[in-house]
Structure 1
């Protein structure tokens, strides 16, 4: 069983690396096509799909490294408020482009012992998820604050909350499972891969924290403690 699991992880890592090269070639060829013939909805679609597959392969490699304990985080004392604000800023325009609005409430001077790049990735993945699946015209709320430790799990709390058309049925915690998508048809339309939230939880737990989700009415809330 252990050997089979190890082989599976190696396969994911090797396959992901093998996929990256042809994706880069396709994207380069597509850019040449645009230079010669101009942009079109087809070349734009190719760019989007290549970007989607590239992001997926990078996340798969990351998860495989996390499983092996070789993610290589650089843990230092960071200004978490600044890191979260910087990572969230680009999503104001992303939210607008997707018919939503982003509202942030970030407490000043919150610090944490963490990997700055990993924290940015958590924020980006949570907001990418929210801007894709939040109800049309709704407000996505992001907040950061210092909190008391609960069972040793984190002294800071990052929360992303938004309205959805319909909460997924069953155990919401399954949203953190790899490749789990509550609505496959909608995920294919929005470009979701079913891996992002798995990365969020993996990063949180690697920092000695946690990632959880809860739903009430038509509101879904993701909470990360670090």
Structure 2
């Protein structure tokens, strides 16, 4: 689990990398300090062992002069005399072989016993004590006389034993210091850090290079997700961004193509009625008619074409406003089932005229929705008009209403020619006609379903189309109030 967390976090990976580098540099420093220390070791004159030797001799003398043996009178205890003889022999050996001086003084520093090589008759006690203490604590002790000082009981008298002499020097070697140890540790840290982060840095450079490729306009490039951490997430987000950008560009290109087709269609649709209007008005202006009835017919034709022209312009104007959300919505609570019942009554006769039977399946209970009534009537009128226009005759149109606790769904179905999947998906796109060769006389402006979609989405609803078994179904889904 810990490794999984590390793999998903660059921060933890960096902390782990730094920890490993610090540990490795510490080992490098320890090893290089050992190696360079041996190379640069320095000789040093050490008097410690010599001082210890003098001190040990003094201790041995103190042990021979154990105070209980000197508390009794020498005449009474013969062992005391034996001990004194051993003490004196020991002093002679020390004086002869080690050249150390041995003194026994009273508390005032007056010498009461001395070795043969000592000439002092009086000793400065405080100076001796200072000499003994300084020699033990002075790291820079040079060759000079050292005195070991101990209080004793000499022949029943409180005294001081002083053993002094020149300590014997010994040569020792001390490891030297070299800046190469620290430099080696720093170099090891840098090299290991570079080596451990090299893979990540190559991946960062790869992502940066990918962004430069995308910036040139190559939207087919996809970054490879090489890790589960933040860099992998960045690669995934880059791919999603490129896919979304590619989709948007393709949609814009398709919309531009459809817009160009619409301009062509609308130009043709506007030119045709306008040409007819101008032609009949010219005939009326030039009195190119034979009877008043013929003139009235020309007027009626020109007027109907002018109405068609106005309808086309109104569709364009309304779709533009709906797309830009410039049309205010006057929503109110309405029973959708009652509204549909009233609207369908108007289409019964129109359906019969075109050999189409209208069947409705609408529940009696009130299904309240908050809608702009005029705009929503426009939606259902567009759907029903399309059903009348493109149904196979004779036939029937089915209107079904269903609902759950939150939504109501209106389904309008009719038999029609089969559409391709691409046509079905683009039915509600702006400027789209199933057959590009259709004009406004037989195929509409291509804005009816796009206007319906804009109205439904302004009501926070959804509209879509499906087909099966030779039938096409249009769905409108709205929230219940």
Question: Smaller-chain TM-score range?
Answer: 0.7 to 0.9
Counterpart residue number, 1:221: 473
8 Å contact 1:84–1:119 — kept in the other structure? no
1:131 corresponds in structure 2 to 388
Q: Is the 8 A contact 2:319 2:447 kept in 1?
A: no
Q: 1:210 to 1:46 in 2, by over 3 A?
A: farther
Alignment pair present for 1:69 and 2:328: no
Question: C-alpha distance in 1, partners of 2:391/2:373?
Answer: 27
State the TM-score, normalized to the length of structure 1: 0.74
Q: In the alignment, which residue of structure 2 is the partner of 1:204?
A: 456
- Taking structure 2 as the reference length, the TM-score comes to 0.37
**Deviation of 1:92 (Å):** 1.2
**Distance in 2, Cα, partners of 1:63 & 1:188:** 16
Matches of 1:49 and 1:104, distance apart in 2 = 35
Q: CA deviation at 1:99?
A: 2.8
Q: Tell me which residue corresponds to 1:99.
A: 355
Moved over 6 A (4+): none
Q: Which residue of 2 aligns with 1:54?
A: 310
SS of equivalent residue, structure 2 residue 427: helix
Higher RCO (Cα < 8 Å, 6 or more apart): 1
Aligned in 2, Cα 1:212/1:93: closer, same or farther, shift over 3 Å? same
CA change 1:46–1:142 in 2 (3 A) is: farther
Q: Secondary structure at the match of 2:402?
A: strand
Cα deviation, residue 191, structure 1: 4.2
CA distance in 1, matches of 2:472, 2:385: 14
Give the aligned partner of residue 414 of structure 2. 162
Give me the whole-angstrom Cα distance separating, in 2, the residues matched to 1:128 and 1:210. Answer: 19
> For the aligned residues, what is the CA RMSD?
3.2
Change beyond 3 A, Cα 1:148–1:190: farther
Kindly indicate whether residue 377 of structure 2 is the aligned counterpart of residue 120 of structure 1.
yes
Partner of 2:368: 111
**Any unmatched runs of 5+ in structure 1?**
1-7, 13-18, 150-154
Ranges in structure 2 where 5+ consecutive residues have no aligned partner: 1-258, 264-269, 285-291
Q: 1:76 to 1:128 in 2, by over 3 A?
A: same
**2-side partners of 1:166 and 1:186: how far apart?**
17
Cα contact 2:464–2:475 (8 A) shared by 1: yes
Residues 358, 398 of structure 2: 8 Å contact kept: yes
What is the Cα deviation at residue 119 of structure 1? 1.6
Is residue 157–residue 224 contact of structure 1 (8 Å, CA) maintained in 2? yes
Paired residues of 2:423 and 2:434 also in contact (CA < 8 A)? no
